[in-house]
Structure 1
Amino acid sequence: MNNRFQAKISFSGNKIRKMAGAGLALALAFSVLSGCSGSKASDNEQKVLRVGMLYGGYDDSYFRQQYTDAYELTHPNVDIEIVPAIDQSIYRYSNGTEQIEQPDPLESMKKIMTGSNPVDVIVADTSTLKQLIQENMLKQLDPLIQEDKFDTSDFVPTVIDGLKDIGEGNLYALAPTFSSSALFYNKNLFQSAGVEPPHDGMTWDEVFELARRVSKGEGKNRVYGLSFSTYMGSDPYWDIQNYTSTLQLRYFDDKAETMTVDTPQWEKVWSTMSKLYMDKVLPDGNQMMNEMNQGGTTAVSPVNQDLFLSSRVAMVVGYNSYVNDVTDANNNASKIKNFKAVDWDVVTMPTHPEKPGVGGNAYLSNAFAINSSAPNADTAWDFVKFQNSEEWAKIKSRSSYEMVARKSYIKPKDGQDYNIQAFYALKPVSPVNNSDDKLYTEKPGLSSITSIGQKYFKEVLDNKKTPAEALKEWQQKGNTMLQAIKNNPKTMFQEDGTPFVPQDNGAAVGVKG
């Protein structure tokens, strides 16, 4: 049987399983949820509920299976219309010869929320929601929650505190699911090193010290103390975003006119991180891949390129979905050559003293809010309640890649025993009050200024420059690039930071720096 035919069978099988799963979910939803929704939307008048989302326009079947099919099944008088703020078909049918002007996500969302036929509900991330709250475009939910006695006490801190944070103490949205990260650790590696394993509530400095103590060995046998990524070939510059995200360090000011990296705080971060890499407490993915290639390693598998599964690292930052990877590998240990099942657990993400109780990498990507100008506000609230109800959380609790927001229905996978609370004990990082999304849309060359920092950090790791020297040079180079963008917002940059301006016909015009 050839590979193409096997792939086709596999794809068909997955599709059938997904359809069967969706059918079962709908059947369960109908039996469990048919009476759980409020009465305001239960009359016989036929209604159209318009739900706005940031991106869409090609295939909304996944979103419908996840969030709207069950509601329409249990509310036959409501038809749901999905309205994308940005129609992604503009990218799908582009021939690549013409530059596509990137739509502004916030302005696009505001457009479908206003006018003669505004959407009733919007589904968005917390950054978008925060900006809409500040412009009084969302309906406050607290009075509705109190009136209907809708219980939110079971929502985990990661969700409820995060949503209250963007509303300055008030609720303007509810999120039925979330994703977050925690610190995975290998029990055997700590035991063999005679070191106490990590625990909840540690600071980054405490974890770094623990990582130093558990690191041992040389070359291919080196066991690293900590990694910010499970992937063996990940780049140090991008990996440390896991460390800096909570600090919310900026690359340039709010107007994108001046760099902000030549500061004591940036120097402290680069000094701390570079020393950990140079002392081989943290693995340098670029070096590891070179060693792997030079060693003539031929087999590439999910295990030997995974630092944690291959027992090359004692602790690793991983999302809740990574539990599936570890569980699957352990369940198939007998089939994997040179692999021993990992005895593992998780603890909360380390925190910075400046941001106590706040962990990195917690995302509320699908939070539901009501347009303050919603034509069908009662039905909109009924729909939001439905998505965030206890009954629906019970059904969604088997989700593989996101966790439900209600802690009563968050259970360890497959009856395992691990510290699942670590994924939801901390608050997520609050979206910053700036217009960075708009800036990056209007001035796409800004992403190159962020990326070019990789070059300067590598020079620190190669011991060619001190962190202070590298950051100073990045500041100077970045200011030159920002000036080019100020002169022409369409300016883009080559890898070395040399500017050019893309033209509509695909050509480029050089810009003198």
Structure 2
Amino acid sequence: MGKYACKRILSYYRRLNALHCLWNRGSRAGIAGLAVLMLASCQQTKTADPQNSPSNRTEAPSKANAEPVDMVIYHPFAGNWSVEKLEQFFGESIHKKFPNIRPKFLVGGPPGTAIPELIMAKQAIDIVFVSIGATQTQFLDFNLGYDISPFIQKSRVDLGKFDENSIRQLKELGKGALYGLPLFDSIAATVYNKDLFDKFGVAYPRDGITWDELYELNKKLTVHNGNVQYYGFSAATRDTIGMNQRSAQLFRPGTDEVLVTTDVWKNLIHDLVRFYAVPGYDTSPAASNAANQQKRFFDERTTAMYIGSSGLPFQRLAGMNFDFATYPVYPETPKAGPAPYPTNIYVTSISKHKEQAFQVLDYLTSKEFQSFAVQDGTQVSVLDDADVKRAFGTKSQMLQGKNVSAFLALQHSPPLASNSYTTIATGAVQDAIVAVVAGEKDVNTALRQAEEAANKTIAERKGK
């Protein structure tokens, strides 16, 4: 394949990568698969099955030497972490623990920093950390998976210290192989603007609030006042799909066939879209995307409550009179919070320092580092450890006096089964929600068409 064709592929991939936080992500995953195959042609290398490729067979671990090592750690999304923040948050601790390891950080976003560009440039990448939802498109699709099971056995890492659902998700993605470890848990709570509750004389939400109670608050707080439209509720709807408490599965059990025309999905979508059916809501597709939902609450401050699950931009709360309540629950399962949506950390198949990279993974998931990492309140530990939990938010001035226990009060619901096509299925359901909110389709039609579209995309991807 010519170099100009390769450049066109990379340009197209960058445009897809920019859509990561928007609603329509299903097609992106499918096209990313095509980009992988074409890039392989550019490199004149043969793409092998991740589980059977020789580069992914873990050799017997040897004693890691103490020679100086440049350890390249990559995160694909600039909106989440900057290089400076990574150096401060991770780099100083890693170098202090391992003086011979010099952490170097790369963040996706600027030209030349997308995964296919880095691979073509033969850039060293030893470690990747990314959410469970983006693992396929930002890691596995590029044959970067490497089974760390022998390292785990040699180092006697106790996988029981992690949430069992998070480990199960990792093994499902690796089809039995374990390519990484959970790094951070998802942050899930109801964040609310106390000033708007006070303005309209409405009582604050409490821990243990149900979805029905939240809906009633939403109705009271969706008000047109002083030429300003106020809203009771905004949400990261992508999270409510992937972390749903009903454990509504995206696929027919044991297959890659999308199945979302079930009663549990219909009820779940009905429960969600009713919030946007309250008179006064802007139901246009543009207003429904995650960025605008956040903008209303964090920036414009015209929304009283925000439901987030995979991360909350606490820095955007500066100057707001805010507090937290638990994530809404169903009355029949009052302790069941969202399903886990962890950020995982992986050793790559192209690393020349795999054993040292695993040592870094082992350290970053240790009680020592996790106790430090949770102190600013921006991350939740993956460890089931009372001491670590008590450390959450203790060094954050912004969180002093706030109900931070809301983040830790609920248990995880069982996770959705994951496979290579999860992002396609999730994107199709997102499109269905947007169409129902906009009044373009009823729930049954939207889910049926979403199911058909997702299965068609998956069939096309399998045929390439």
Q: TM-score, normalised to structure 2's length?
A: 0.56
Write the distance in 2 (CA, Å) between the matches of 1:216 and 1:82: 46
The answer for the alignment partner of 2:37 in structure 1 is none
2:342 alignment partner, SS class = coil
Are residues 1:46 and 2:54 paired?
no
Aligned runs of 1:156-305 on 2, under 5 Å? 160=163, 163-166=166-169, 175=182, 177-190=184-197, 195-216=202-223, 220-221=227-228, 223-228=230-235, 239-247=236-244, 249=248, 260-280=259-279, 283-284=281-282, 286=284
Are residues 1:325 and 2:307 paired?
no
Are residues 1:416 and 2:392 paired?
no
Change in CA separation of 1:241 and 1:76 when aligned onto 2, cut-off 3 Å: closer
Change in CA separation of 1:322 and 1:285 when aligned onto 2, cut-off 3 Å: farther
1:92 alignment partner, SS class = coil
| Aligned equivalent of 1:306, options 284, 296, 302 | 296
Residue 209 of structure 1 aligns with an amino acid whose one-letter code is E
Write the distance in 1 (CA, Å) between the matches of 2:252 and 2:353: 39
Structure whose alpha-carbon radius of gyration is higher: 1
The answer for the alignment partner of 2:436 in structure 1 is 457
Write the distance in 2 (CA, Å) between the matches of 1:192 and 1:459: 29
Write the distance in 2 (CA, Å) between the matches of 1:42 and 1:321: 40
Cα deviation, residue 223, structure 1: 4.2
Change in CA separation of 1:448 and 1:325 when aligned onto 2, cut-off 3 Å: closer
Change in CA separation of 1:399 and 1:349 when aligned onto 2, cut-off 3 Å: same
Residue 479 of structure 1 aligns with an amino acid whose one-letter code is E
Change in CA separation of 1:92 and 1:161 when aligned onto 2, cut-off 3 Å: same
Cα deviation, residue 359, structure 1: 3.3
The answer for the alignment partner of 2:147 in structure 1 is 137
Write the distance in 2 (CA, Å) between the matches of 1:80 and 1:161: 29
Aligned runs of 1:82-93 on 2, under 5 Å? 92=112
Q: Structure 1 vs Structure 2: percent identity of aligned residues?
A: 19
Write the distance in 2 (CA, Å) between the matches of 1:421 and 1:329: 21
Deviations for 1:91-117, whole angstroms, at most 9, x for unmatched residues?
Answer: 7399xxxxxxx97xxxx9xxx9xxxxx
1:172 touches 1:369 (CA, 8 Å); kept in 2? yes
1:183 touches 1:315 (CA, 8 Å); kept in 2? yes
2:319 alignment partner, SS class = helix
Cα deviation, residue 196, structure 1: 4.0
The answer for the alignment partner of 2:50 in structure 1 is none
Q: Where do 5+ consecutive residues of structure 2 fail to align?
A: 1-61, 172-177, 383-387
Aligned runs of 1:365-380 on 2, under 5 Å? 365-367=343-345, 377=355
2:304 alignment partner, SS class = strand
Cα deviation, residue 458, structure 1: 4.4
1:360 touches 1:428 (CA, 8 Å); kept in 2? yes
The answer for the alignment partner of 1:468 in structure 2 is 444
Residue 46 of structure 1 aligns with an amino acid whose one-letter code is E
1:182 touches 1:318 (CA, 8 Å); kept in 2? yes
Deviations for 1:433-475, whole angstroms, at most 9, x for unmatched residues?
Answer: 33215x85xxxxx888556536631453xxx654335545x25
Deviations for 1:457-513, whole angstroms, at most 9, x for unmatched residues?
Answer: 1453xxx654335545x25xx63785587468689xxxxxxxxxxxxxxxxxxxxxx
Write the distance in 1 (CA, Å) between the matches of 2:226 and 2:83: 49
Residue 244 of structure 1 aligns with an amino acid whose one-letter code is I
Write the distance in 2 (CA, Å) between the matches of 1:167 and 1:137: 11
Change in CA separation of 1:126 and 1:141 when aligned onto 2, cut-off 3 Å: farther
Q: Where do 5+ consecutive residues of structure 1 fail to align?
A: 1-40, 95-101, 113-117, 154-158, 229-238, 290-301, 331-341, 441-445, 492-513
Cα deviation, residue 418, structure 1: 0.4
Cα deviation, residue 175, structure 1: 4.7
Cα deviation, residue 329, structure 1: 2.5
The answer for the alignment partner of 1:17 in structure 2 is none
1:268 alignment partner, SS class = helix
Change in CA separation of 1:93 and 1:431 when aligned onto 2, cut-off 3 Å: same
Q: CA RMSD in A?
A: 5.8
The answer for the alignment partner of 2:363 in structure 1 is 386
2:428 touches 2:453 (CA, 8 Å); kept in 1? no
The answer for the alignment partner of 2:327 in structure 1 is 349
Change in CA separation of 1:357 and 1:252 when aligned onto 2, cut-off 3 Å: same
Residue 345 of structure 1 aligns with an amino acid whose one-letter code is D
Write the distance in 2 (CA, Å) between the matches of 1:75 and 1:484: 46
Change in CA separation of 1:141 and 1:317 when aligned onto 2, cut-off 3 Å: farther
| Aligned equivalent of 2:305, options 315, 332, 349 | 315
Cα deviation, residue 325, structure 1: 1.8
2:277 touches 2:437 (CA, 8 Å); kept in 1? no
Change in CA separation of 1:423 and 1:79 when aligned onto 2, cut-off 3 Å: same
Residue 306 of structure 1 aligns with an amino acid whose one-letter code is R
Residue 432 of structure 1 aligns with an amino acid whose one-letter code is A
Are residues 1:359 and 2:379 paired?
no
Deviations for 1:122-150, whole angstroms, at most 9, x for unmatched residues?
Answer: 7554465999xxx9933288877878xx9
**How many residue pairs are counted as aligned between the two chains?**
370
